Chain A
Amino acid sequence: MIGSDPVLDVRKLIVEFSSEDGPVRAVDEVSFQVRRGEIVGLVGESGAGKSLTSEALLGLIRRPPGRVAGEVWFGGRDLLTLDEAALSRIRGKDIAMIFQNPTASLNPVFRVGDQMLEAMSLHLPEPRRVLRERVIETLGRVGISSPRARARDYPHQFSGGMAQRVMIGMGISCVPSLLIADEPTTALDVTIQAQVLALIRRLARELGVAVLLVSHDLGIISQMCHRVLVMYAGRVVEDATVGALFRAPAHPYTRGLIECLPRLEGDGRLGAIGGMMPGLRSLPPGCRFHPRCPVAEPRCRVDAPLLRSIAADREVACHLAETS
């Protein structure tokens, strides 16, 4: 069951980088909430700002050259006001993270079980003997067969899918309330991807973990998430429940993205969005999508549309979206 109070509450998050031509805003006033047991997806193409958003939440953006503003409420505190020591007590314990390349996240010269033990002992007071059992139990829970033997293996002895399970295992071993997964299966094969994603769904369903899932893959987003934010050139252009978004996408960019997908049924040419996402230093005036938008009007070239509510639980940043 999805809870009512947000586990994570992000308000007007901004990420800027200084450059020769002045500050470049890569994430522009992004706001969202993730509740207990809920999976929220951030979707967009490369350069949309989705990974930067998740990194900013965790304090992983180097400052300077970066600048992060806004509020990130988690466990009654604004994470953006915490110092590194306080943040590192939260990261890996209350907030787990998994990234795209699981083998790069493991140290090649230590046994997998020892690395998991190390991560756990940072956050948990139990003696190592107890933690060692917990490592083995966790490996079993993420679907690794003969966990006792596998704990003694080195990372290179794990395939990509197995290594990603180890990362998830490491992430959940302290029972986090929030899991941030940034393209967690992009490096994996389809059948292995399905195993890993099924595991994340189960964590949300059975342990009530709140999940922020960053992905470029609309299929994954549609099968995994309860709520979706579509990002374009640093801004959220649509925010809706997964059903509403895919049944009736309200923003022309969302519609274009869905029509671009080669489907398993159906025929003919693919719908395509002409052109490409603008660079952050050469953003067009008005709506950032207007040069590629099939329905753009004169005002779209001048006025930047703000996110506005068009139905219950649904926001769109488009002048032309109709309120229902």
Chain B
Amino acid sequence: MTSSPPLLEVSDLVKHFPVRSNPLAAFWPGASPRVVHAVDGVSFTIESGETLGLVGESGCGKTTTGRLVLRAIDPTSGRIAFEGQDITALPARRLLPFRRKVQIVFQDPYSSLNPRLTVGRAVAEPIRVHRIAEGARAAARVRELLDMVGLSTEYLHRYPHELSGGQRQRVGIARALAAGPRLVVADEAVSALDVSVRAQILNLLVDLRERLGLAYLFVSHDLGVIRFVSHRVAVMYLGKLVEVAPTAELFKQPRHPYTQALLAAIPTVGDGATSIFDDPTRLLEGELPNPIDLPRGCRFASRCPHRMSRCDEVEPALREPAPAHAVACHLYP
């Protein structure tokens, strides 16, 4: 590996959303405003051509992280560098070159496509916006993109409502690829699809990665999907990364108690002889604490089977007990 900067480098990213409360509270000196700690000091890198899987349960901040990386929303603090350039504070008009290189595929292709645009026009839109090509060359590019995502040209004049979920997601992918990105944020991109269609789209995303040298930030709650597409996996809990490791290692030897519980709770296809749901020791009790009033120590302590007194006092930092395997837990000093 060369010493060039990573494709994407996120350092100590924070996003707090204010909670609407008494409007007079702003005039109250000393009273700190209440905030939701959606993303609370997250750091990671993505190399060119690499897929980082970001996994966690609802409300953990994984989607917010994806939106921050896209600069769709502004961070409270922290730094985002793309190809070595700090883009955290770039004003919107100077972001256009960055927007060409970083694109998104959404979960629900039905609500992310304009119902009044045909497939051809929807895919042509980013080509026009980014002034990539015009006229016949733009039309040729649209055909090329449709071919790339496995849609025949007969779909050019169809509207989204005439397509199935899988076909719509192919259009969403074609749109994301239209500008020639280097990084694609896939936010639950296959979660709304049926099993057989999901497999088709996952295979397509992996093929496109190999063919175009794409990097993905793959956001999903589904560990099976994450395991399939990712080179490395970052596990998120209540706004923090609790574990980051190469995929095979994370699934073989999860270290953080939350990752362990998460893996234990997945119903994988077995032979039906035993059920994981009959084994109470595999169950994680309780639910996510409120992201407004966070505990002082480890955020996972209230549900953790290995809780120690230290966990309630000191928040564990993300450290590397093994090379390239980072964990935020006091069990690994």
Contacts and interface: CB of A to CB of B under 8 A. Distances in A.
B194 interface: yes
B272 A271 contact: no
A211 interface: no
Interface string A240-272: 011101110000000011111111110001111
A217 B225 CA distance: 13
Contact of A261 (B263, B269, B271): B269
Nearest to A240: B272
Given A191-B261, A219-B269, A262-B202, A45 B283 contact: no
Nearest to A39: B275
A273 B199 CA distance: 8
A17 to B, nearest CB: 20
Interface string A200-227: 1100010000000000111110111110
Interface in B72-117: none
A277 B195 CA distance: 11
Contacts of A194: 265, 267, 276-277, 282-284
Contacts, number: 141
B198 interface: yes
B267 A220 contact: yes
Interface string A49-73: 0000000000000000000000000
A45 B194 contact: yes
Given A161-B287, A191-B57, A257-B196, A246 B271 contact: yes
B196 A276 contact: yes
Interface string B276-295: 11101011110100000000
Contact of A190 (B195, B221, B280): B221
B282 A247 contact: no
A159 interface: yes
A189 B263 CA distance: 13
Contact of B272 (A159, A217, A243, A273): A243
Contacts of B228: 262-263, 270
A46 interface: yes
Contact of B267 (A205, A217, A258): A217
Contact of B224 (A46, A193, A243, A261): A261
A224 B268 contact: no
Contacts of B285: 195
Given A189-B57, A201-B275, A218 B287 contact: no
A162 B278 CA distance: 20
B203 A224 contact: no
A276 B267 CA distance: 25
A243 B283 contact: no
B273 interface: yes
A44 to B, nearest CB: 9
A192 B272 CA distance: 21
Given A220-B267, A222-B267, A264-B223, A270 B287 contact: no
A45 B195 contact: yes
B231 to A, nearest CB: 12
A24 interface: no
Contacts of B287: 159, 161-162, 192
B59 to A, nearest CB: 9
Nearest to B166: A276
A176 B262 CA distance: 32
A45 to B, nearest CB: 4
8 contacts: A46-B194, A191-B261, A195-B283, A222-B267, A223-B270, A246-B270, A257-B196, A260-B198
Ranked 3 nearest A-B pairs via Cβ = A242-B272, A262-B228, A219-B267
